[in-house]
Structure 1
Amino acid sequence: MNLHIYSASASLDFGHGKEYVENVVNKLSILNQQENRFDNIYLYTSKLSSKIDLDDNITLQERSSSISLDKQIYKNKYKKMWRFMYGIDRIRYYSDLYNLILKNIRDGDKIYLVEYEYFSLFLNNRLLRKNPIITLHTMDFSKNLYSFTESLYKKISGYLNKKTFKYSKRIIVHGEYIRNSLVEEHRELEGKVRVANYGIYQYSDFINKEKAINLLKEKYNFNISSNKINLLIFGVIRTNKGILRFIREFKKIENVKDFNLLIVGKSYDLNEELIYDEINNYENIYWINTYIPDSDIEIFNKLADYLVLPYLENMNSQSGPLKLAMGYELPVLSTKYGEIGNFTLNYKVGEVFDTTNYLDFQFALDQLVQKNRNEYVENIKKVKKQMSWDEMAYTIWDAIVN
């Protein structure tokens, strides 16, 4: 019996692909060596990112594709039609790799989809009838706030997933909010759903804030004041992360001069000029417009006093930057919506606000800075112990083999 693991994101140099492969897929291989459940483990992706170290006991199955998943390429080429063309090619991209799995699979083999594309999986009856274990990253199947095309896609996707859920052996989600939202809508799935909390790195021996600020100046030529409160927005910049709206609200706050706002990450689907137009002439708003190497992530998480997650109302998946912040014991100011808001409130690791309400943002920010920051840090330390990558991998392993 073999295990077939699919991850389109493993071909990308950004996003969650690296974390999933190195901390989950590789760990599944180690667990298999201990328990000897599968003869072989295969990982399917277009072309494995050079940034990812794959366990030697996993067999890589690549199918090169001329299709890119970079939205910016489609925006430049197709203008107003870019979402439609991107969607069509994305379906083709996933379908090619699904078919490669079907070419290799044998009776009794198991399939684990790290992520999946809704249309292509719905259309692939042969793969669905193999009863894959799937990962559902979001329950966002409602109206999109900035695109009619994407709203239509989400509505249809929600309908198509009914079939996908029916045939799936297990549905893995990364938080209680997503689980509860799924079960509330589909009561019959309660026995299928497994919560594998997104992993937190067990970092220790941190550099201090002063050292981090000095390294920022040395490596990135940004000189920020050390006597201000530093707010950090970190990670790939997407429209649904609400960054433009947050910048506009941040500039309105009464005590704005008491803060630095540091935005760190490359734009993925947001026009860069829109960001620059908002931050020009503001000496306390900085944008480091590049992908950050792993070796420098600590700099930004330790110079910051708080991580900001101003995601829009319909963005309800878990957040990689949030879990990174937990690893560095960095409190958060987050949207009140979705899995992120639920996590922040339940574990008391920061404050939440309504991203549609400026006054709510001002109030939450005031609450954050008035409270003893160490209280948040102590709560984060408790969460770190509960949600390691090993725990996440073991939960997924149990969902696969049992």
Structure 2
Amino acid sequence: MKIVVHSQNHKNKLSKIFKNTIKVFNYPCEIVKKNNLNQTYNKKILFFGLVREDKGIIDFIKKNKLQKLTLTIAGKVNAKSMYQLMKYKNLKITIKNKYFHKKELENLFLSHDYLLLPYKKGYAGSAGPMHISLSYGLPIICSNIEIFRDFLKKNKVGVLYNDYKFEKNILSINKKKFLQMKKNCISFSKKNTWFHLGQNYETLYDEIEA
């Protein structure tokens, strides 16, 4: 039996249960026509996706009062979360509670500098928005949880954060490091598309049949 997962973190956890061979196939990135490699740095951070408890965005806003950075929250927001977000409407936060079509999605990512992933420790998903972000060349700012630590250590496409001096730490990232992270994002996305995922599965099937 072969088991396929989309992160080293998931493999590490399953290895404690299963003794079979576990393969890690990276979650695929989209192929995009544009990226923001040469865009001007505008100090804009994006949170994209369904707003729910384990995504950690509400807790992030409570702990981090942004002054020089702006935050866009884009995606469907449930009623409870919207009520909590509206308490912070005077902060530098824009809420776009909607579904985004392809062109709107492109414009959204091209107009921001980083993708924020403030997910909580119990989050068990694969962070699909992260792989969209990598395609467009946006480095990721991740909460310090295992699934992100492994990925960032290997691919150098963003930074981990804690809530202590969040804004100061992000603004202290120099242009050279920021540009290199953007290049790493685009390089990773080009090597990990749906085509590459298909190739990985074909290789796996050949191994099983051999």
Please classify the TM superposition score into its range, dividing by the shorter chain length.
0.7 to 0.9
Aligned: 1:229 with 2:39: no
RMSD: 2.5
Q: Write the distance in 2 (CA, Å) between the matches of 1:287 and 1:369.
A: 28
Q: Write the distance in 2 (CA, Å) between the matches of 1:362 and 1:328.
A: 23
Q: Which has the higher contact order (CA 8 A, sep 6+)?
A: 2
**Moved >6 Å (runs of 4+):** none
TM-score (norm 1): 0.47
Distance 1:259 1:360, change over 3 A: closer
Deviation at 1:188, TM superposition (A): 1.5
Matches within 5 A, 1:2-401: 169-183=1-15, 185-186=16-17, 188-189=19-20, 191=21, 193-206=22-35, 228-251=42-65, 256-268=66-78, 270-277=80-87, 279-282=88-91, 284-354=92-162, 358-359=163-164, 361-362=166-167, 364-368=169-173, 372-400=177-205
Look up the equivalent residue of 1:194 and give its one-letter code: K
Q: Write the distance in 1 (CA, Å) between the matches of 2:152 and 2:102.
A: 25
Sequence identity (%): 23
In the alignment of these two chains, the number of paired residues is 206
CA contact 1:319–1:340 (8 Å) conserved in 2: no
Which runs of 5 or more structure 1 residues have no equivalent in the other structure? 1-168, 211-226
Q: Which moved more, 1:304-313 or 1:261-270?
A: 261-270
Distance 1:345 1:366, change over 3 A: farther
Larger radius of gyration: 1
Instruction: Give the SS at the match of 2:181.
Output: helix
TM-score (norm 2): 0.86
CA contact 1:232–1:261 (8 Å) conserved in 2: yes
Deviation at 1:209, TM superposition (A): 5.3
Q: Which moved more, 1:380-389 or 1:170-179?
A: 380-389
Q: Write the distance in 2 (CA, Å) between the matches of 1:331 and 1:387.
A: 16
Distance 1:306 1:377, change over 3 A: same
CA contact 1:202–1:327 (8 Å) conserved in 2: yes
Deviation at 1:271, TM superposition (A): 3.2
Deviation at 1:268, TM superposition (A): 4.7
Q: Write the distance in 2 (CA, Å) between the matches of 1:379 and 1:286.
A: 28
Q: Write the distance in 1 (CA, Å) between the matches of 2:123 and 2:165.
A: 19
Q: Answer 1 or 2: which has greater helix percent.
A: 1
Deviation at 1:395, TM superposition (A): 1.9
Distance 1:288 1:235, change over 3 A: same
